Amino acid sequence: MIMAVAAKKHVTLFTRSRRAPGAGSPAVKAAFSAAAKKTLGIADRSERNAIVASAVRGTGSGVYRKKSRAKIGSPLYGKVYEYRTK
């Protein structure tokens, strides 16, 4: 997914996976919005991207639920399990 944030003098483009842990969570969205506002006036794109990446990294809850992708007939088929990223 390609996303963009427009500021007065520049547009920051970045790619993001919809399947990434925590993608779309309110905490991640709030951290991204706050970081994007801090990049106003910075002309170097790599510097803006580093600011946004460091602000968003580690903002998820750390516990995610995932449905097993096991094949039909497997004892794991349809099970939901949790994993922690922190």
Residue 5 in this model has a pLDDT that exceeds 80: no
Q: How is 4-71 classified by DSSP, letter by letter?
A: EEE-SS-EEEEE--TTSTTTT-HHHHHHHHHHHHHTTT---HHHHHHHHHHHHTT-S-SEEEEE--PP
pLDDT of 60 reads 66
Matching residue, tokens 């547009």:
11
> Which pTM does this prediction carry?
0.48
Report pLDDT digits (tens) over 26-40: 887 788 888 888 888
pLDDT of 1 reads 63
pLDDT of 54 reads 84
- CA dihedral of 51, 55, 56, 61, whole degrees rounded to 10: 170
- Report the alpha-carbon distance of residue 72 to residue 1 in Å, rounded: 30
pLDDT of 37 reads 86
